[in-house]
Amino acid sequence: MAKTHAKTGWRSYSSSPLPPILETALACFVEHGYHGTSIREVAARAELSVPGLYYHYPSKQALLVAIVSHAMDDLWDRSTAALEESGDDVQRRLDALVECLVLFHAHRRDLAFIAYSEIRSLTGEARTTYIGARDRQQRLMDQVVEDGVAQKVFTTAYPREVSRAIVTMCTGVSQWYSAKGEHSPQQLAQRYRDMTRMTVGAQIESQL
């Protein structure tokens, strides 16, 4: 999907990318939490019988796994497309990756929020797979910050800690952002790019 995002634009967001059943399950999980949602509620809101829902997804856990997998795959594809677009310049790579994270967690707020908050509800191999995807995503930022320090573009003495702080700051957008708020996702991304440059010890070139 990275090639798709490279062609269509990793900054572009349209309507929900989830199939209708998963969109319904996501809405239920956001409203009531995973454990507070029954399979009967999801089926009723999706206008399906319980057996009809099970035909597509054999359990409530399967619904959650599908939602989380979609979130992580979409974020990965957008992130790699952003980095590909940025070329070798480490400052541009940092800016693009931060912008990508902020835009995703603002535009896909509910999806990102459930993917983050309901890791506690994943079990077995699904949980292991999610952690692997999360760690792979973190390594993108780790590498950019480490490269910037190695090239003396970034001056931070704590590249690993700074990298994790940046990702935590960006992903936290899904917990509070509102489209009715003061800033658009793109304006917020610009502010986060400026804050990130200060965090890594790089020059700030605000475009606002």
pTM reported for the whole predicted model: 0.90
Q: 73 CB contacts (<8 Å, ≥6 apart)?
A: 1, 133
In a domain? residue 25:
no
In a domain? residue 39:
no
In a domain? residue 31:
no
CATH number, domain of 119, equals 1.10.357.10
Query: Tens digits of per-residue pLDDT, 142-200?
Result: 999 999 999 999 999 999 999 999 999 999 999 999 888 889 999 999 999 999 999 99
In a domain? residue 75:
yes
C-alpha span between 179 and 184 (Å, rounded): 7
pLDDT of residue 5: 55
- What residue numbers bound the domain in which 120 lies? 2-13+64-200
How many domains is the chain built from? 1
pLDDT of residue 207: 44
Query: Tens digits of per-residue pLDDT, 89-111?
Result: 999 999 999 999 999 999 999 99
In a domain? residue 150:
yes
